[in-house]
Every structure is written in structure tokens, then in C-alpha cells.
Amino acid sequence: MEQILPDRINTPAQTENATCGLVLIITGNGKGKTTAAMGLVLRAWGHNKRVIMLQFIKNAKANFGEHRAARKMGIAVVAGGDGFARPGVMGDIEKSETMAADLWEFAKETISSGNYDMVVLDELSYPLRFGWLNTGDVIETLRNRPSGLHVVITGRDMPQELIEFADSVTEAVEIKHHYKKGIKAQPGIEF
């Protein structure tokens, strides 16, 4: 069957808001926040958008599934954290704080550079919650970003000021989790 199409099809990418950069937050206690962000990365990549993901907790030695896939697609992923070190838990907290501050400086340069269409700030909520980074500085950086730049921010316990600033906020809610049955993290599901 032959399909007759109009000369011009109005797709979402052709609307007047196509270059309106958004701040999207994915937060909550449920699993899948980074995975959801990777879905947005994949969608942007499919539209030939320039994408980078900056990870504030995962360390540079991490080799998770999303890192492998991103490398194959030519998407930059910068894991600039120190694992899951945090106040009251194992790890060198001063080192973790310094690493978060260094990655945030890189993030500010990346956001303002105009070199990307989407920047993902994965697990940014943690250094904000720990007091390692300033929420006001993050909001100011986002407010002054290039107009067409989308920024995706993930992590639990997102600061309320950032939630209020964002264009869209999604909350991942845990209803049930296999870990509570004693099932360990699964390749391709958690990492």
C-alpha cells in the first residue's frame, strides 16, 4: 500500500520550541535514574546530538554496561567520582569532595562551552546533599547555559531549590526491589 504524505511533516524537532534547552531531573529512591538518563542520551544520540555524561559518584575505573555502550557509540562519559565514599561511610571523604569539586568545575566549562546539545550530570544530588557543592552555584550555571542545551540531572534527595528551577522532574519510586530478597546486583540491570 502506498502512503501519501504531505510535503512537510511537522515532527517535534521542527516545532518552534525545538531549540529550547530543558533542565530535566530524575530523582527518587527507586532504581533506574541513571538508566533513564541513558535513555535520553540514546534518544539524543539518535538525533545526531552532541552528548556528554559526567558522573559524580562512579569512579574512572568503573566499566559498567552504560560505559561500554557509550564508548561504542562515541559518547563521552567522564566518571569523576571516588565510588560511593560519603560522610559516615568508608572512603577518603576529603578526596571525594575534591574530586566532586573538580568535576563540577569541568561541568561548568562543559555546560558553557556550546560544544554539546545535552549534558548529563549523573548523581549530582549526592555532592550537593553532602555540602561539597553549592546548589546556588549549580542553578546559576544552569540559568546561564546556552539556550539550546538540555541538562539532565540524576540522584536521590535532590535539593528542593533545584527541583523548583527544573523544567521537568521525574521521581523514581521503589515499590519492590529484588535486592531485598537477597538477589545481588545483576549485570545488564544494575551495572
Q: 0.75 cut: is pTM over it?
A: yes
CA separation for the pair 46, 185 (Å, rounded): 29
pLDDT in tens, 61-93: 888 888 899 999 999 999 988 776 666 665 678
Cα–Cα distance, 93 to 190 (Å, whole number)? 25
3 state SS of 77: strand
Length of the chain equals: 191
- In tens, the pLDDT along 94-151 reads 888 999 999 999 999 999 999 999 999 999 999 999 999 999 999 999 999 999 999 9
The angle at the Cα of 60, spanning 58 to 65, to the nearest 5 degrees, equals 65
The mean per-residue pLDDT over the stretch 177-189 comes to 80
Domains in the chain, please, with CATH? 19-172 (3.40.50.300)
Phi–psi pair at 3, nearest 5 degrees: -100, 130
Predicted confidence at residue 152, as pLDDT, reads 99
| pLDDT tier, 45 (very low <50, low <70, confident <90, very high otherwise) | very high
Query: Residue 119 and residue 70: Cα distance in Å, rounded?
Result: 14
Dihedral (Cα; 31, 36, 74, 118), 10-degree rounding = -130
